[in-house]
Amino acid sequence: MKYYLFAIASILIIPFQANAQSWWERETAMGKSGQLTLVGKTWWSQAANLKPGESITIQSEFPDGGLMLIKCETRQRGATGQKMIVWILDDDGDMDKENPSGDFDNDCYVADYGCDGIVDRIVDYIDDGKAPGEMDIRYFVDGELRRAWFGVDFDDDAGMWSLIDYEYDGDFFKSDPYGDNMIFMNKYDPVHEVWLPISECPFAFYDTDDDGESEVVVRFSAAPLTFDPDADPDYANSQQRYQGPFDSAMRSIGVVNVRYSFDIDDLSDAKTPLHYEMGFNMTGDLVYDFPDMVRFNALRRSPKKVVCIPFDQIRKVSDNYHSDQTGFSWAEFPDASIRIGHPSNPADDRRWEGVFWTWERRIMHNTGGPVQHWNIRREYMGQPTAQREMYYSPVDQRIHLKGATEGWLKIGCISKDEILGEVRYFDINMDGYFDRWEYIDQDESKPYRVVQTTQVKNVDLGDDIQEVASFYNQEALPEAIRLNELLIKELEKYVDEPLPGYLQNAQAQSASPTERRYILDLIREYRFLQFQSHARELAVQSYKQSQTRDPRTTVEKRRQSECVWQFSVQLSQIDAAYESGEYQKTISLVQQLNTAQLNQ
């Protein structure tokens, strides 16, 4: 696969203007049903006989026609190659006739895979020198236009233009997920010859701290309001739908799913980009009808009007979206069983599109994928709502979705394929807060520990994401790390066996405070279970040794009996404090233990 790097020339750019009879638009004008072929072109026979690496330059025969470069290249298809014709139209007239080549400033690339004369892809770069630059990628099936991606470079960093992807079937390389940018898909209606919203419309990336990276990403799933979630559970992400034949139901589109993700720990920067921890997944039936959603560009090939909610409306609509279900996800640690990072940063397993919901237990249509399975916390609220509020629970020292009635955190695949267990959450009294935690070992169906309490001093955090992030970063997270480290230190005075390799490796690879805290949680739990087993066994052995038919016989026997019982009482107090998340109290109680007295 070849990549064509974009270089910005330091010259004065004169705004490019178009009129209704522009030669470049007439050259690529479609026929009935959006059909476009090359066979009828006067230069086709020459193009069809080109060999890879060969090219011809032709002047358009239309009035005021510009230069066109026709090349034969090899398109990589896995381990093999496929010949293709690339037809480059110099829309703005800046191509050098002596040294012709395309650029990413008002040039159009038409690709014919297999050199059969049938158009497969159009990549069109559009820039009037005033508004943000745009890019169209139009997809044809058997020479018939079916759909297109449209991109808008709001931050004007030329990132969207850095790669040309007519050689690639997938959609990864079309997008610039860094800074302020938006991409969206439209479906072509061949009857009315118009664009309509479909699929991911839009993907919008927001740079909230002006560092050139994105801290918020929103994706709308656009699908017919009449779609069947049982028959088409992921309609908006189905290539069979958005690239298949047009369906009249596509004229009544709704926003049926909103995926809304955030960089909570404020680590999204050039070193660790696309660093999203928290995400909402919401399903509903909002009609796709927003002010100023029709976007016109005179330099766009017909149809010139595309449809997408404006960039500055997206977050407000998401904040007030009426959902019938809400899923809350928190990425605690990477999942070593999958690779889902952005191609520009494959070593990072954070999903560049945000934090996804899952396709198990509580199914929410149009969630999309790929999905992280392990080490990501899920919480589900089945009640309709237009507001997403959060709270902090001191029991597990985590931020939760207020109103969620159940949740789970599957623990495993830390380094390789370790399957460890999970934690489950429930709101038993249905007051909007979790009050039951079940801790389950992978090898057991029954929880090894259950914590259920209504005496929890939860902290309501509201729906202001900045305030939630501030509380998390400045208070909750540092305190959780501090207490973890102190408690682990105390527990390791009683148990000092080496940690499992996956925990040792994970400590070294933790790339953020959130990840570090998660691994400390696992180490703390591992050490506590060791301590609990060791201490209980010590108590049993000491109790057996202290047994006598008549403790009145000696002072030592009576004192030993009291010490053994006191030790058992303290262990129960430690268990109770640990289970309720009172780790400072747990630390103090562990420090008060005196195992030496047991054998006196």
Rounded distance between C-alpha atoms, residue 88 and residue 102, angstroms: 6
Q: Which of 282, 516, 315 lies closest to 401, judged by CA?
A: 282
Map residue 14 onto helix, strand or coil: coil
pLDDT, residue 179, reads 84
Strand 294-296 and strand 376-381: pairing?
Answer: unpaired
Instruction: Write the single-letter amino acid at 307.
Output: V
Rounded distance between C-alpha atoms, residue 294 and residue 456, angstroms: 50
Phi-psi region of 247 (alpha: psi -120 to 50; beta: other; left: phi over 0): beta
Query: 77 pLDDT exceeds 60?
Result: yes
Residue-wise pLDDT for 26-39, tens only, equals: 999 999 889 999 99
523 pLDDT band (50/70/90 cuts)?
very high
pLDDT, residue 153, reads 81
Please check whether residue 447 is in contact with residue 436, taking contact to mean a CB–CB distance below 8 angstroms. no
Strand 144-153 and strand 194-197: pairing?
Answer: unpaired
Phi-psi region of 158 (alpha: psi -120 to 50; beta: other; left: phi over 0): left
Q: Which of 424, 406, 218 lies closest to 328, judged by CA?
A: 406
Rounded distance between C-alpha atoms, residue 341 and residue 264, angstroms: 18
Residue 50 DSSP class: P
Contacts of residue 331, defined as CB under 8 A and 6 or more positions apart, other chains included, come to: 276, 277, 278, 350, 355, 372, 375, 376, 514
Can you read off the two tokens belonging to residue 81?
């190659």
SS3 percent helix, strand, coil of the chain, rounded to 5, is: 25, 30, 45
pLDDT, residue 18, reads 53
Residue-wise pLDDT for 396-427, tens only, equals: 999 999 999 999 999 999 988 889 999 999 99
Vertex 437: Cα angle to 433 and 441 (nearest 5): 155
Q: What is the mean pLDDT of the chain?
A: 88
Q: Which of 151, 518, 171, 177 lies closest to 368, judged by CA?
A: 171
pLDDT, residue 52, reads 94
Residue-wise pLDDT for 460-499, tens only, equals: 999 999 999 999 999 999 999 999 999 999 999 999 899 9
Q: Which of 202, 223, 160 lies closest to 306, judged by CA?
A: 202
Q: Average pLDDT for residues 100-115, to the nearest whole number?
A: 92
3-state secondary structure 461-473: EECCHHHHHHHHH
Query: 154 pLDDT exceeds 90?
Result: no
User: Which range is least confidently modeled, 17-26, 134-143, 254-263, 324-333?
Assistant: 17-26
User: Which range is least confidently modeled, 169-178, 218-227, 239-248?
Assistant: 169-178
Query: 132 pLDDT exceeds 50?
Result: yes
pLDDT, residue 511, reads 77
Contacts of residue 49, defined as CB under 8 A and 6 or more positions apart, other chains included, come to: none
Angle between helices 555-579 and 583-592 (to 10 degrees): 160
**Spacing of C-alpha 305 from chain mean position:** 29
pLDDT, residue 521, reads 97
Q: Which parts of 49-160 are beta strand (E)?
A: 55-59, 67-77, 80-89, 108-113, 121-126, 133-141, 144-153
pLDDT, residue 463, reads 97
3-state secondary structure 175-220: CCCCCCEEEEEEEEECCCCEEEECEEEEEEEECCCCCCCCCEEEEE
